[in-house]
Amino acid sequence: MLLLPLAGAIVVLGICAYPTLGLFVLFASAILFEQVRLSGIEPPITETKFFVNINAYTPLPIRLSIPDLLMLLTGVALAARRFGATHQRLRMGAFGWAVLGYVGVFVLGTVIGVARGASWNADVALTESRAPVQLALAYFLTANLVREHRQLSVFLWLFVLVSAVKAVQILGNGQAAADLSYTLRTISSHEDVIFIGAAIALALVAVLVGHRSRLVFVLFALQPLFVVAEFVAYRRVGLIALAVMCLVIMLMALFTRPRRAAVLGALACVGLGLYLLIFWDATGPAAEPLRAMRSVVDASATSLVDQASNAFRDTEHENIGYTIRELPLTGVGVGQRYLFERDVADISFPYWRFITHDALLWLWLKAGPLGAFALWFLVARAVLVGSDLFRRLSAPALQWVVALPVTLVVLQVVFSSVDLGLTYSRTMIVLGTSLGLAAFVAEEQQTKTTSASQWPD
């Protein structure tokens, strides 16, 4: 507590002098710090209250979290430099309009929610809208502050190293859970599997494009840690998302390194066949991917806990369908409860009557078909632009950079189909930042293309 004010003052002064520092701190902190406390185990990192509103644990009447303040301070420092010295306009970047459209549907949803009556809850509306706004702020700050390849390298180093810290934490949590007299439902934050899965994906991309650097060698050395942590975390959706993401990467590589992609694909098929033969009837962490695959096609192959979770989600989907049928054009609005045709048992999540586990359909509930369109337009824009850059770029290092937002989007979509993925500040900040990095690469590539087309014959 004595060092905290000093550290805060240093960070504030550093951001004022070098605004990109705020992005570095925000990006690393979003991966490192927990957003939700873990039940049964309490690693020290969960006690930081990094994502909690300041007025919840201090006498200060500030209904903002530390990430919110970091982004506001970084934005003020950016504006002071941009408008005070150079008078340059803010850059929209390749994803600017898609991001604005995504945030815009939450504004529309809030209007719908307020119009639907007194049951509107302002606190819930703020909770539902916070992560999308943070995604937009992180994107625009990154698209305007990142101007050098060296900065790209810093972000990737932070991503790999801090994700490794989370993997170590998962292993430590697994050991702590093994010493308990009861079984825990989960030993890690749900969204941690997105970061670890993306770290594994980056290693695969480096192999496919032939990228070699000190960071890549560090990433290769950390792969056993990431893979073991993925198994120990026991998250079915994480393993399924990892498989889908690897397939997407292989498809992207077919257009740039077809022979290498074909060889790795063949080796993967052989490895998968051997894995099925060896672990078909096995149990434990090593057989967790097989359990995840079985759960997709055979409900009886899942545990009783997983079957209960699936039953809750099935009922939730029925209620989602009922709400869409009753309010097909507008949805219920942000800050309003969605409609229940069948009631379900109360769960520990405080907003379970407002936010659904299927986050992909949740946006339809809040703003109708327009909300769903805005989400999928952003997803399509990120995948198409990222894939096109991946194909056209000649530098493996830049291909590696643009692969990060594509893998994060794919992981996020699969994860959000069964979990509250679009309402987690952590994943939205990291996704927004990575889209900003890709926007810088796209702008640089466009400038080179334009210059070449204007070069005299």
In tens, the pLDDT along 335-364 reads: 999 888 887 766 667 788 888 888 888 888
Residue 89 has pLDDT above 80, yes or no: no
With respect to residue 199, please indicate whether it lies within any of the assigned structural domains.
Answer: yes
The 10 Å CB-count burial string (b at 16+, else e) for 373-389 is: ebbeebbebbbebbbeb
Residue 1's pLDDT band, with cuts at 50, 70 and 90, is: low
> Looking at residue 454, what is its pLDDT?
47
The sign of the CA dihedral 425, 426, 428, 429 is: positive
User: % helix / strand / coil in the chain, to the nearest 5?
Assistant: 75, 0, 25
Cα separation, 33 vs 92, whole angstroms? 29
* Dist CA 136 CA 97 (whole Å): 10
pTM to 2 decimals? Answer: 0.90
CB atoms within 10 A of CB 176: 16
Structural domain contains residue 340? yes
Of 190, 188, 123, 109, nearest to 351 by C-alpha is: 123
Is 217 a member of any domain? Answer: yes
Q: What pLDDT, on the 0 to 100 scale, is given for residue 433? A: 96
Mean pLDDT of the 390-398 span: 90
116-130, 213-227, 247-261: the lowest-pLDDT one = 247-261
In a domain, 255, yes or no: yes
Q: In which band, very low, low, confident or very high, does the pLDDT at 257 lie, cut at 50, 70 and 90?
A: confident
- Which band of pLDDT confidence, cut at 50, 70 and 90, is reported for residue 263? confident
DSSP string, 209-274: HT---HHHHHHHHHHHHHHHHHHHTT-HHHHHHHHHHHHHHHHHHTTT-HHHHHHHHHHHHHHHHH
Contact predicate 357/313, CB 8 Å: yes
> d(Cα 11, Cα 66) in Å, to the nearest integer?
12
Contact 261, 250 (CB under 8 A): yes
User: How many domains does the structure of the chain reveal?
Assistant: 1
Output the pLDDT for position 353: 84
Whether 315 maps to a domain, the answer reads: yes
Confidence of residue 246 (pLDDT cuts 50, 70, 90): confident
**pLDDT value at residue 28:** 95
Specify which of 34-38, 247-251, 344-348 reaches the highest per-range mean pLDDT. 247-251
The residue range of the domain holding 337 is: 95-442
* Residues 160-170: b if buried by 16+ CB within 10 A, e if exposed: bbbbbebbebb
DSSP 373-387: HHHHHHHHHHHHHHH
35 within a domain of the structure (yes/no)? no
Residue 95 has pLDDT above 50, yes or no: yes
* 52 assigned to some structural domain: no
Average pLDDT on 178-199 reads 78
Angle of helix 122-145 relative to helix 20-32, nearest 10 degrees, comes to 130
The whole-number average pLDDT for the span 304-309 is 59
In-domain check, residue 30? no
pLDDT at site 35? 84
Q: Report pLDDT for 300.
A: 54
Kindly state the average pLDDT of the residues 270-274.
Answer: 77
Position of tokens 């301070």? 73
Quick: pLDDT tens for 324-340: 899 988 889 999 998 88
